[in-house]
A and B are shown apart, each in its own frame.
Chain A
Amino acid sequence: MTIRKRTNEPGSFLATHGDSIVRDAQRELKSPARRLFGQRLLTLGGISLLSGCDLSNDKSVNAALRRISFFNDDVQALLFDPNKLAPTYPESMITRPFPFNAYYDIDDVPEVDAATYRLQVSGLARGKRTWTLDELRVLPQESQITRHICIEGWSAIGHWGGVRFSDFLRRAGADTSAKYVSLRCADNYWTSIDMPTALHAQTLLTLTYDGDVLPPKYGFPMKLRMPTKLGYKNPKHIVAIEITNRYPGGYWENQGYNWFGGS
């Protein structure tokens, strides 16, 4: 403290002693010491790198990462252009065989009985609440050859056909000003999407794959296909659709995958 006080009178202490103090300090820091300092800094950097993986288990770090992921949802909602179409491809570019992918093995694919199957619509919708497969098949059908992009990085081009989801939502009397569409599946998978994506022209309630009835491994009886979203946002074996303003989350999303999952 006494030293500090003295230096508050500029020119007195430092003016007379400044040079010699600095010279002393510089002598102290001569080459060997500097080198050692440098080496230690490098080592310190190396150690902190090695322990980097421990950061993954820190609760506050995880909470911060989740918050940024929610922030990234908002950024993606802003970036999402409802009129921008995902690229489509010629039939020759379809990936054959199209890869099977789920959170379980192909042997555990659920078998849904077409005769007893009913699609339930709930939440903010005032129209028809229960749909049979035949009722869906008589609606206007569209098809698309688009790229499925998996969160893991790989991609595959597939050929899907079915009902435009915005068309279905309107027929079901859904409140399209609601925030979310929640989707529950026969394999206990669930996910949810934002309304703008639900209404996108390429969002398709698919009933066929490559011209045939959607096979079980690709999501019989129906898969919601969105070329504007990553694979895990494209649920298969859908049995219930809910229109809601309450954030519904999802199977992978609740474990840490980004919710918006846009492409």
Chain B
Amino acid sequence: MLLWIVPHGAPINVIKPGVVLSHNAIQPGWVRITHWINALAVVLMVMSGWQIYDASPIFPAIRFSRSITLGGWLGGALQWHFAVMWLLVGNFVVYLAANLASGRFRRKLLPLGPRQLAVDLRAALRGRLQHADLAHYNALQKLAYLVVIVAIALIVLSGLAVWKSVQFPLLRTLMGGYDNARIVHFVCMSVLVAFFVVHVAMVALVPRSLLLMIRGR
């Protein structure tokens, strides 16, 4: 109902700039859009990736049930994987570029010192880590977000090395050869999945953060 009374073309905060309708979004639009595109892309990539993995498991003890995979069979999963990769990489590049250009990385994720990390970790373990101000990340959050950004960068690079091991010799060497690139790819996936689990659990504990990522405030 609220939306209907907003006239087209007239920003609502022009009418009464102030207390209630302040447009100081904690998460700007581009962060929210790239966040949700990334979430979708990662979920599709992981699910199709599990199906591909099952065709020839690196670790015989680790297999993924068909009920949690995407694609139906190896060929279908590969089609998904190599289609969604464009979404993942394109979105990630936009995200990185916008963050670097706007200085948001420096503002939000730095500085990150070992002392603050230790303090926040101790608080978290005692269940006393405060999360009152969603605009500021605690040290554990900063670390988690940095780790997940690095993991996505690494998963893209190791994926490239697996896909095009002949065409990208330097990347292949950096990854320790073709077979090792698969392991790097798998480990990065594991980091992303672990992050996903903790991330969603935290959102369930602090539901306000979900609203924040949807409407910005």
Contacts and interface: CB of A to CB of B under 8 A. Distances in A.
Interface string A22-55: 1101100000001101110110000001101101
Interface of A is mostly: helix
Nearest to A252: B75
A152 B54 CA distance: 8
A19 interface: yes
A90 interface: no
B20 A23 contact: yes
A255 interface: yes
B79 A66 contact: yes
B75 A35 contact: no
B5 A155 contact: no
Interface in A240-263: 252, 255-258, 262-263
Interface stretch (A2-10, A104-112, A129-137, A161-169): A2-10
Given A39-B207, A72-B82, A153-B52, A22 B21 contact: yes
A86 B178 CA distance: 12
A256 B2 CA distance: 48
Interface residues of A, number: 62
Nearest to B10: A10
B130 interface: no
Interface in B27-65: 43-44, 47, 52-53, 55-56, 58
A15 interface: yes
Interface centre among A13, A26, A153, A155, by most B CB within 10 Å? A153
A41 B7 contact: no
A256 B79 contact: yes
Contact of B53 (A37, A86, A87, A153): A153
A176 to B, nearest CB: 21
A57 B47 CA distance: 16
A236 interface: no
A210 B14 CA distance: 79
Contacts of B80: 56, 65
A68 B179 CA distance: 27
A121 to B, nearest CB: 27
Contact of A262 (B44, B55, B167, B203): B167
Contacts of A37: 207, 211
Nearest to B18: A19
B69 A84 contact: no
A3 B4 CA distance: 8
Nearest to B82: A72
Contact of A25 (B1, B82, B200): B1
B167 A22 contact: no
B15 A11 contact: yes
Interface in B174-217: 178-179, 182, 200, 203-204, 207-208, 210-211, 214
Interface in A64-86: 64-66, 68-69, 72, 76, 79-81, 84-86
Given A152-B56, A263-B165, 8 more contacts: A4-B5, A7-B5, A38-B210, A52-B43, A53-B66, A56-B80, A154-B56, A262-B166
24 contacts: A10-B15, A34-B207, A35-B207, A38-B207, A42-B200, A49-B47, A52-B70, A56-B72, A57-B72, A62-B79, A64-B83, A65-B76, A65-B79, A79-B167, A80-B167, A84-B166, A84-B167, A84-B169, A85-B166, A87-B166, A147-B165, A252-B75, A255-B75, A257-B78
Interface of A: 3-4, 7-8, 10-11, 13-15, 18-19, 21-23, 25-26, 34-35, 37-39, 41-42, 49-50, 52-53, 55-57, 62, 64-66, 68-69, 72, 76, 79-81, 84-87, 147, 149-155, 227-228, 252, 255-258, 262-263
